[in-house]
Amino acid sequence: MNFKTLIENIDDFPVDGVSFKDISPLLASPQFEKVIIEMGQLVEIPDFWVGIESRGFIFASALSMKFGGGVILCRKAGKLPGTVVSETYNTEYSKDSLSLKIGSGRVVIVDDVLATGGTLHTVNSLCDRAGYDVQANLVLIDLKYVPRSDVVLKDPLPKIKSLLQYE
C-alpha cells in the first residue's frame, strides 16, 4: 500500500514556507498496524525502543507491542523523575531541551519525521551519555529535501532507517 496517501500535506504550517506532514489520518487508519510491521522489519529488535516526545512515543509503544522490547521515553527537560541526562539544541523553529533516564541496553531511537536531524542527533548523544548502545535510528518519514543541520553533517547519524521518503 502507498502509505503516503494517508499523510496530509499542510502548507505554511507551523511557519510560512514549511510543508507539514500530518500523520493523523495514518494513525487513525486500520493501515497503521501495517506501518508498524513494515517499520519493525527495517531494524534488528532492540532491548528498548527510545520514543522521542511526543509522536515518537506512539511508534515506540506500537513497535514494542508488536515486536517485543521495552519502551524508554525521551522527554522534554523537567518531565522525567530520577537521574537523567539532558541536552539543549536548536530546532528549525525554536530551542528545545530533551532528557533521558540513565540505563543500559541496545536501543533503536524512534520518531515520526526526520527533517534537519537535529533532534535525532541530540537523542543519539543522550543515549550515549546515558549508557545505551544505539543500534539504529528509525523514522516513519525522512524529508530528504530538507538540508541536514551543520552538526549532523559534521557528525552523521548512525543507521537511519525510514519507511517513507520525500525527495
Q: Give the catalytic positions in this structure.
A: 55, 92
User: What type of residue is 101?
Assistant: K
Residue 150 class from Cβ within 10 Å (0-12 exposed, 13-18 middle, 19+ buried)?
A: exposed
Residue 109 class from Cβ within 10 Å (0-12 exposed, 13-18 middle, 19+ buried)?
A: buried
Cβ atoms < 10 Å from Cβ of 43: 18
Q: What are phi and psi of 129, to 5 degrees?
A: -65, -30
Q: How far apart are CA 159 and CA 23, in angstroms?
A: 23
Nearest to 138 by CA among 167, 159, 116, 166: 159
Compute the chain's Rg from CA coordinates: 15
